Structure 1
Amino acid sequence: MGEIRASDVVYAACDALVAGLDAPGLRILAACTRAEADYDVQDLLPAALAELGLTFYPIAGKAGQEAAARALARHMLAASSRLVSSLSGFTSATDTSCL
Protein backbone atom coordinates (compact mmCIF):
# COMPACT_ATOMS: atom_id res chain seq x y z
CA MET A 1 0.00 0.00 0.00
CA GLY A 2 2.84 2.41 0.63
CA GLU A 3 3.02 4.14 4.01
CA ILE A 4 1.09 1.48 5.91
CA ARG A 5 1.24 -2.31 5.73
CA ALA A 6 -1.71 -4.01 4.08
CA SER A 7 -2.25 -6.13 7.20
CA ASP A 8 -2.62 -2.91 9.25
CA VAL A 9 -5.41 -1.82 6.89
CA VAL A 10 -7.14 -5.15 7.54
CA TYR A 11 -6.78 -4.64 11.32
CA ALA A 12 -8.19 -1.13 10.96
CA ALA A 13 -11.17 -2.57 9.06
CA CYS A 14 -11.74 -5.02 11.91
CA ASP A 15 -11.54 -2.18 14.44
CA ALA A 16 -14.03 -0.16 12.40
CA LEU A 17 -16.50 -3.06 12.42
CA VAL A 18 -16.10 -3.46 16.19
CA ALA A 19 -16.68 0.29 16.58
CA GLY A 20 -20.01 -0.03 14.76
CA LEU A 21 -19.23 0.94 11.18
CA ASP A 22 -20.59 -1.47 8.63
CA ALA A 23 -20.44 -1.86 4.88
CA PRO A 24 -20.10 -4.90 2.65
CA GLY A 25 -16.67 -3.80 1.42
CA LEU A 26 -15.50 -3.20 4.97
CA ARG A 27 -16.51 -6.74 5.93
CA ILE A 28 -14.67 -8.15 2.91
CA LEU A 29 -11.59 -6.11 3.77
CA ALA A 30 -11.68 -7.22 7.41
CA ALA A 31 -11.93 -10.87 6.32
CA CYS A 32 -8.63 -10.80 4.41
CA THR A 33 -5.93 -13.07 5.72
CA ARG A 34 -2.36 -11.80 6.02
CA ALA A 35 -1.47 -13.67 2.87
CA GLU A 36 -4.37 -12.15 0.95
CA ALA A 37 -3.88 -8.64 2.33
CA ASP A 38 -0.75 -7.84 0.35
CA TYR A 39 -2.53 -8.70 -2.88
CA ASP A 40 -6.14 -7.64 -2.25
CA VAL A 41 -6.15 -4.56 -0.01
CA GLN A 42 -5.11 -2.16 -2.76
CA ASP A 43 -8.13 -3.21 -4.84
CA LEU A 44 -10.61 -3.50 -1.94
CA LEU A 45 -9.85 -0.33 0.00
CA PRO A 46 -11.22 2.32 -2.42
CA ALA A 47 -14.61 0.58 -2.64
CA ALA A 48 -14.82 0.02 1.12
CA LEU A 49 -14.09 3.69 1.79
CA ALA A 50 -16.61 4.80 -0.83
CA GLU A 51 -19.32 2.68 0.81
CA LEU A 52 -18.60 4.54 4.05
CA GLY A 53 -18.81 7.91 2.30
CA LEU A 54 -15.04 8.43 2.53
CA THR A 55 -12.66 9.40 -0.23
CA PHE A 56 -9.63 7.34 -1.20
CA TYR A 57 -6.62 9.43 -2.14
CA PRO A 58 -3.75 7.77 -4.03
CA ILE A 59 -0.51 8.06 -2.12
CA ALA A 60 1.26 10.33 -4.60
CA GLY A 61 -1.75 12.39 -5.64
CA LYS A 62 -2.00 16.14 -5.12
CA ALA A 63 -5.59 15.85 -3.81
CA GLY A 64 -4.42 13.49 -1.08
CA GLN A 65 -1.61 15.80 -0.07
CA GLU A 66 -4.02 18.74 0.11
CA ALA A 67 -6.52 16.71 2.16
CA ALA A 68 -3.75 15.66 4.53
CA ALA A 69 -2.61 19.28 4.92
CA ARG A 70 -6.19 20.40 5.67
CA ALA A 71 -6.64 17.61 8.22
CA LEU A 72 -3.34 18.48 9.89
CA ALA A 73 -4.26 22.18 10.01
CA ARG A 74 -7.67 21.36 11.57
CA HIS A 75 -5.97 19.16 14.14
CA MET A 76 -3.41 21.83 15.01
CA LEU A 77 -6.09 24.53 15.31
CA ALA A 78 -8.23 22.33 17.54
CA ALA A 79 -5.24 21.54 19.75
CA SER A 80 -4.24 25.19 20.07
CA SER A 81 -7.84 26.12 20.86
CA ARG A 82 -7.92 23.53 23.65
CA LEU A 83 -4.60 24.84 24.95
CA VAL A 84 -5.86 28.44 25.02
CA SER A 85 -9.01 27.30 26.84
CA SER A 86 -6.94 25.38 29.36
CA LEU A 87 -4.63 28.30 29.97
CA SER A 88 -7.45 30.79 30.39
CA GLY A 89 -9.00 28.48 32.98
CA PHE A 90 -5.64 28.19 34.72
CA THR A 91 -5.03 31.93 34.85
CA SER A 92 -8.48 32.65 36.22
CA ALA A 93 -7.99 29.93 38.86
CA THR A 94 -4.73 31.57 39.96
CA ASP A 95 -5.96 35.16 39.76
CA THR A 96 -5.10 36.79 43.09
CA SER A 97 -6.93 40.06 42.53
CA CYS A 98 -9.90 38.61 44.42
CA LEU A 99 -7.81 38.01 47.57
Structure 2
Amino acid sequence: MRDLTTSSGAQPKKQRSLPMLKEKLAMLDLLRDSMSVSNMAHKYGHNESSIRAIKIQVRNKTLVNTEKAFNLWLEDMNHKCVPIDGNTL
Protein backbone atom coordinates (compact mmCIF):
# COMPACT_ATOMS: atom_id res chain seq x y z
CA MET A 1 0.00 0.00 0.00
CA ARG A 2 1.27 3.49 -0.86
CA ASP A 3 2.15 6.08 1.71
CA LEU A 4 -0.34 8.98 1.50
CA THR A 5 2.18 11.63 2.51
CA THR A 6 4.56 13.26 0.06
CA SER A 7 8.32 13.43 0.49
CA SER A 8 7.93 16.87 2.08
CA GLY A 9 5.49 15.44 4.62
CA ALA A 10 2.42 17.28 3.29
CA GLN A 11 -0.94 15.56 3.44
CA PRO A 12 -2.87 14.92 0.18
CA LYS A 13 -5.84 17.11 -0.70
CA LYS A 14 -9.14 16.18 0.86
CA GLN A 15 -11.60 14.47 -1.48
CA ARG A 16 -14.57 16.62 -2.46
CA SER A 17 -17.80 15.47 -0.82
CA LEU A 18 -21.04 16.42 -2.50
CA PRO A 19 -24.28 16.35 -0.50
CA MET A 20 -27.05 14.10 -1.78
CA LEU A 21 -30.40 15.54 -2.89
CA LYS A 22 -32.18 14.56 0.35
CA GLU A 23 -29.43 16.24 2.34
CA LYS A 24 -29.69 19.40 0.21
CA LEU A 25 -33.46 19.55 0.75
CA ALA A 26 -32.99 19.12 4.49
CA MET A 27 -30.42 21.94 4.45
CA LEU A 28 -32.82 24.24 2.59
CA ASP A 29 -35.56 23.48 5.12
CA LEU A 30 -33.22 24.34 7.98
CA LEU A 31 -32.17 27.55 6.23
CA ARG A 32 -35.85 28.53 5.92
CA ASP A 33 -36.22 27.83 9.64
CA SER A 34 -33.36 30.34 10.14
CA MET A 35 -30.58 27.97 11.19
CA SER A 36 -27.20 29.61 10.66
CA VAL A 37 -24.93 28.46 7.85
CA SER A 38 -22.12 27.93 10.34
CA ASN A 39 -24.19 25.60 12.53
CA MET A 40 -25.38 23.70 9.48
CA ALA A 41 -21.79 23.28 8.26
CA HIS A 42 -20.83 21.70 11.58
CA LYS A 43 -23.94 19.50 11.60
CA TYR A 44 -23.47 18.09 8.08
CA GLY A 45 -19.68 18.23 7.92
CA HIS A 46 -19.52 20.42 4.79
CA ASN A 47 -17.84 23.77 4.21
CA GLU A 48 -19.88 26.92 4.74
CA SER A 49 -19.23 27.97 1.15
CA SER A 50 -20.84 24.75 -0.13
CA ILE A 51 -23.98 25.42 1.90
CA ARG A 52 -24.11 29.03 0.72
CA ALA A 53 -23.81 27.82 -2.88
CA ILE A 54 -26.78 25.47 -2.39
CA LYS A 55 -28.77 28.37 -0.93
CA ILE A 56 -27.96 30.61 -3.93
CA GLN A 57 -28.77 27.96 -6.54
CA VAL A 58 -32.43 27.58 -5.54
CA ARG A 59 -34.53 28.50 -8.57
CA ASN A 60 -37.86 30.28 -8.62
CA LYS A 61 -40.66 27.89 -9.66
CA THR A 62 -42.34 30.58 -11.78
CA LEU A 63 -39.14 31.12 -13.74
CA VAL A 64 -38.81 27.38 -14.39
CA ASN A 65 -42.40 27.17 -15.66
CA THR A 66 -41.91 30.24 -17.87
CA GLU A 67 -38.75 28.73 -19.38
CA LYS A 68 -40.59 25.47 -20.12
CA ALA A 69 -43.45 27.34 -21.81
CA PHE A 70 -41.01 29.44 -23.85
CA ASN A 71 -39.12 26.32 -24.94
CA LEU A 72 -42.37 24.62 -25.98
CA TRP A 73 -43.41 27.69 -28.01
CA LEU A 74 -39.98 27.88 -29.63
CA GLU A 75 -40.08 24.20 -30.63
CA ASP A 76 -43.60 24.65 -32.01
CA MET A 77 -42.53 27.64 -34.13
CA ASN A 78 -39.50 25.69 -35.34
CA HIS A 79 -41.69 22.71 -36.27
CA LYS A 80 -44.02 25.01 -38.24
CA CYS A 81 -40.99 26.56 -40.01
CA VAL A 82 -41.90 30.04 -38.78
CA PRO A 83 -38.84 32.30 -38.82
CA ILE A 84 -38.08 33.89 -35.46
CA ASP A 85 -35.87 36.95 -35.13
CA GLY A 86 -34.65 38.88 -32.12
CA ASN A 87 -37.58 41.32 -32.24
CA THR A 88 -40.09 38.46 -32.00
CA LEU A 89 -38.37 37.10 -28.94
Same fold (TM over 0.5): no
Higher helix share: 1
Normalised by the length of structure 1, the TM-score is 0.31
Normalised by the length of structure 2, the TM-score is 0.34
